[in-house]
Chain A
Amino acid sequence: MTAVDAPAVPGGAPATTPEPGRGRGGLVAAAVLVVLAAAPLFLAPFATTTLTRVLVFALFAVSLDLLVGVTGLPSLGHAAYFGSGAYAAGWVSINVTAEAPVPMLVGAAVGAVAAALTGWITVRTGGVFFLMLTLAIGETVQQLANTWDEVTGGANGLTGIPAVRLAGAPLANAGFLHWYVLAVFVLGFVLVWVVARSPFGAALRGIRDNEPRMRALGYPTALYKYGVFVLAGGVAGLAGSLLAAQARFVALPDLGFVTASFALLAVVIGGAGSLWGACLGAALVIVIRDALGPGLGGHGTLVLGIVFVLVVYLLPRGAAGLRLRRRETPS
């Protein structure tokens, strides 16, 4: 397991805390990036695949963190956009083309459109109400995917997704696939990071901390929340396209409640608002679910449930990040 853990613990963090000076953060980020890029050269294929899955889930968790940590909107239905992107990317790969940027762009676009179609209702609320609504929407989307089986494959899932092709050559090798996923991950992470540090991101943190005041200051807060919801949906769709490329199989659970709550768990473990923390949390979730799960008799979920309970009790700083870590800027 050390082979997996070694790169997974620095956790895919191309950007770290800004406080100790930008230079050191950039250096750490570069080092992590080099380790992640070099991983397929010295890791066994299974370990590489696990690391690739970590990256996929980490990008998904980062997109959720934009909602939960930065804007203070705890979502339990974010997997709907992740799964929509995965289904769309898979469908395009099968029926149109698997040539590199196409599935990725389609996945991101479908994730964003799905978020735009459902977001106008969720952003009317906040707090636990938002949690309930997103949960209901996520379940609705999952049932829709189940009913629409001529496109999604229904309960059997979408099978036979071809490998992503880059300049005509399919990325069948685990190492090449890892580099493709890493490249898209870095793209998505940097996008979220830039947004979180922009004036738009500052306004979102203002909404998180005191929405009435932001409204009084003249910010159209509902529009801002809608904007970030659609953006987070798009990045989740992008991560979904990576899922389709990596697993080459998309099924209903990828859209559902359990996947969504694991992503929320990843964000909470890492401390809401910290993008690299979400990556660490994602690494923990994937390692327990996929790498250790089979050894636990398929009951990785049980372990994750216990981890969830423990994190809520023992890591209030991570868990209560929404309320406690106000002065920190998300990294």
Chain B
Amino acid sequence: MLVSVLNGFAIGFLLFIVAVGLSIVFGMMDVLNLAHGALFLGGAYLGAAFAGSWGGFLAALGIAAVLGLVAGGLLSLMTEPLSRRSHLDQALLTLGVAFVASELLIIAFGDDPLSVAAPPALDGSVTVFGAVYPTYRLVLIGVGAVLALAVHLVVDRTRVGALVRATVADREMVATIGVDNRLVKAAVFAVGSLLATTAGVLGGPVYGARPGLDATVLILALVVVVIGGLGSVRGALVGALIIGQVDTLGRVLLPELASFVLFAALALVLVLRPQGLFGGLTTAGTR
């Protein structure tokens, strides 16, 4: 039971890192980035390619961060010509990009699932309250919590964060006071993508790297965003932790119905609170 709860936290924090970028980009610019899962998978493959040593692990993190920034900037640039068209077009564009990216990853890394070793010294296990638990996942919980706190502080306490929140709330007004919100969008897109690729590297030792992982992660992240509410960092955190627990507990208690439990949680939130737990007014669920 304890192991399951810890697993829930590990997956929950990982999901938060993936989902927060998706949530803010969507909440802010109404761009649903369906290539977000492919970014995660790219990070996971990078981690697999460099796995085995601390130097490799850190190098993978660094490269993933840079590639994430570049990819996010590119995606933002690509959706810009479509900004006057429907939101669906932008989502379709990112879907096409996701296909191309995941096929390129298969061409580069083959279509066999790769398992990723945790960095040395973290690949063993420790005893937590009498239960044996992999060290890496424990560290992942810590790193995830720190990252979550960092994102929360940046968005909640800094000028940049205030700008992002203001753009989520009313981007015309932000444009009126002289801020080019295309730049805000590009920056948020880049940082969100950076978080996704980094999460891919961090999640490698848990999830491995395999074709189809991109869709799985994308869907989990979308569920988190729907449950938490669009554009809300707090919502993404709470949603991710709920989904982490629901998913792992579901797998332990009702292995046959695990995927159903997830759907039931989603349905419950949508029926009781269609805009998500922390959803704002402007982007409510029913449109």
Q: Chain A residues in contact with chain B, CB under 8 A?
A: 74, 76, 121, 124-129, 131-133, 135-137, 139-140, 143-144, 147-148, 256-258, 261, 264, 268, 299, 301-302, 304-309, 311-313, 316, 319-320, 322-323
Task: Assess A268 versus B259: contact at CB under 8 Å? Given A305-B103, A306-B100, A313-B81.
Answer: no
User: Do A312 and B89 have beta carbons less than 8 Å apart?
Assistant: yes
Q: Chain B residues in contact with chain A, CB under 8 A?
A: 26, 30, 32, 81-82, 85-89, 91-93, 95-100, 103-104, 107, 215-216, 218-219, 222-223, 225-226, 255-260, 262-263, 266-267, 270-271, 274, 285-287
Which residues of chain A have C-beta atoms less than 8 A from B97's C-beta?
Answer: 305, 309
Q: How far is the CA of A147 from the CA of B256 in the complex (A)?
A: 6
Q: Separation in Å of the A129 CB from the closest CB of chain B? A: 6
| Residue from the list B32, B82, B287 in contact with A126, Cβ < 8 A | B287
User: Do B215 and A257 have beta carbons less than 8 Å apart?
Assistant: yes
| Residue from the list B81, B107, B259, B274 in contact with A147, Cβ < 8 A | B259
User: Do A139 and B216 have beta carbons less than 8 Å apart?
Assistant: yes
Q: How far is the CA of A306 from the CA of B82 in the complex (A)?
A: 17
Q: List 23 A-B contacts (CB under 8 A).
A: A76-B95, A124-B270, A124-B274, A124-B286, A126-B286, A127-B287, A128-B26, A128-B91, A131-B88, A135-B222, A136-B222, A136-B266, A140-B259, A143-B259, A144-B259, A144-B260, A147-B255, A147-B259, A268-B92, A301-B99, A305-B98, A308-B92, A309-B96
Q: How far is the CA of A140 from the CA of B263 in the complex (A)?
A: 7
User: Do B85 and A132 have beta carbons less than 8 Å apart?
Assistant: no
Q: Separation in Å of the B66 CB from the closest CB of chain A? A: 24
Task: Assess A309 versus B89: contact at CB under 8 Å? Given A132-B226, A136-B219, A299-B107.
Answer: no
Q: How far is the CA of A226 from the CA of B65 in the complex (A)?
A: 44
Complex: chain A residue closest to B92, CB-CB: A312
6 nearest A-B residue pairs (beta carbon): A305-B99, A308-B96, A143-B259, A305-B100, A302-B103, A309-B96
Q: How far is the CA of A128 from the CA of B222 in the complex (A)?
A: 11
Starting from the known contacts A124-B285, A143-B258, A261-B99, 19 additional A-B residue pairs (CB-CB under 8 Å) come to A74-B91, A76-B95, A127-B287, A129-B286, A132-B225, A133-B266, A137-B263, A140-B259, A140-B262, A144-B260, A147-B256, A147-B259, A268-B92, A301-B99, A305-B103, A306-B100, A308-B96, A309-B100, A320-B88
Complex: chain B residue closest to A74, CB-CB: B88
Q: How far is the CA of A127 from the CA of B99 in the complex (A)?
A: 22
Task: Assess A125 versus B89: contact at CB under 8 Å? Given A132-B32, A302-B100, A305-B96.
Answer: no
Complex: chain A residue closest to B26, CB-CB: A128
B contact face: mostly helix, strand, loop, or mixed: helix
Q: Separation in Å of the B252 CB from the closest CB of chain A? A: 15
Q: How far is the CA of A23 from the CA of B226 in the complex (A)?
A: 49
Complex: chain B residue closest to A319, CB-CB: B89
Q: Separation in Å of the B285 CB from the closest CB of chain A? A: 5
Complex: chain A residue closest to B214, CB-CB: A257
Q: Separation in Å of the A134 CB from the closest CB of chain B? A: 11
Q: Separation in Å of the B67 CB from the closest CB of chain A? A: 19
Q: Separation in Å of the A316 CB from the closest CB of chain B? A: 6
Which residues of chain B have C-beta atoms less than 8 A from A313's C-beta?
Answer: 81-82, 93
Q: How far is the CA of A144 from the CA of B261 in the complex (A)?
A: 11
Which residues of chain A have C-beta atoms less than 8 A from B274's C-beta?
Answer: 124-125
Which residues of chain B have C-beta atoms less than 8 A from A128's C-beta?
Answer: 26, 30, 32, 87-88, 91
User: Do B32 and A309 have beta carbons less than 8 Å apart?
Assistant: no
User: Do B270 and A121 have beta carbons less than 8 Å apart?
Assistant: yes
Q: Separation in Å of the B259 CB from the closest CB of chain A? A: 4
Q: Looking at A121, A128, A144, A264, which has the most chain B CB atoms within 10 Å of its CB?
A: A128
User: Do B285 and A323 have beta carbons less than 8 Å apart?
Assistant: no
| Residue from the list B86, B93, B222, B255 in contact with A309, Cβ < 8 A | B93
Which residues of chain A have C-beta atoms less than 8 A from B92's C-beta?
Answer: 264, 268, 308, 312, 319
Q: How far is the CA of A77 from the CA of B58 in the complex (A)?
A: 38
Q: Separation in Å of the A238 CB from the closest CB of chain B? A: 25
Which residues of chain B have C-beta atoms less than 8 A from A135's C-beta?
Answer: 218-219, 222
Q: How far is the CA of A140 from the CA of B89 in the complex (A)?
A: 25
User: Do A132 and B99 have beta carbons less than 8 Å apart?
Assistant: no
Which residues of chain B have C-beta atoms less than 8 A from A132's C-beta?
Answer: 32, 222, 225-226
User: Do B219 and A139 have beta carbons less than 8 Å apart?
Assistant: yes
Which residues of chain B have C-beta atoms less than 8 A from A124's C-beta?
Answer: 270-271, 274, 285-286
Q: How far is the CA of A302 from the CA of B101 in the complex (A)?
A: 8
User: Do B32 and A320 have beta carbons less than 8 Å apart?
Assistant: no
| Residue from the list B85, B98, B103 in contact with A320, Cβ < 8 A | B85
Q: How far is the CA of A124 from the CA of B268 in the complex (A)?
A: 13
User: Do B95 and A261 have beta carbons less than 8 Å apart?
Assistant: yes
